[in-house]
């Protein structure tokens, strides 16, 4: 993986984590936390969506939407675990 690919990967993770933090209000984790949440969300969605037969397409915008949906699911799971 080249440095450009790594930067795009981190940028998509940061945007996805930030958007997920806005949707699931009260769950922002700062820049580094948002990047981690976004990347983990992308991994979760990467496994979950093909299993459900759901496909968004390609490109950076689709990657951001994909990672954001996964990050929202992750933040909701964190919320449920914290309440238990």
**Domain-wise residue ranges, the chain:** 18-83
Please give the Cα distance from 16 to 35 (Å, whole number): 8
pTM of model > 0.95: no
Beta-carbon contacts of 78 under 8 Å, excluding residues fewer than 6 positions away, are: 27
Look up tokens 């093909």; give the residue: 50
Backbone Cα Rg of the chain: 13
Spans of the chain below 50 pLDDT: none
DSSP three-state, residue 26: coil
Q: What is the pLDDT of residue 57?
A: 80
In tens, the pLDDT along 18-30 reads 888 888 876 567 7
Q: What is the pLDDT of residue 25?
A: 74
């Amino acid at each position: 993986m080249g440095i450009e690919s790594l930067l795009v990967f981190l940028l998509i993770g940061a945007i996805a984590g930030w958007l997920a933090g806005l949707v699931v209000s009260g769950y922002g984790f700062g820049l580094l936390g948002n990047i981690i949440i976004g990347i983990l969300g992308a991994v979760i969605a990467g496994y979950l969506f093909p299993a459900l037969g759901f496909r968004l397409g390609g490109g950076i915008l689709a990657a951001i939407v994909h990672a954001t949906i996964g990050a929202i699911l992750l933040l909701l799971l964190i919320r449920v675990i914290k309440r238990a």
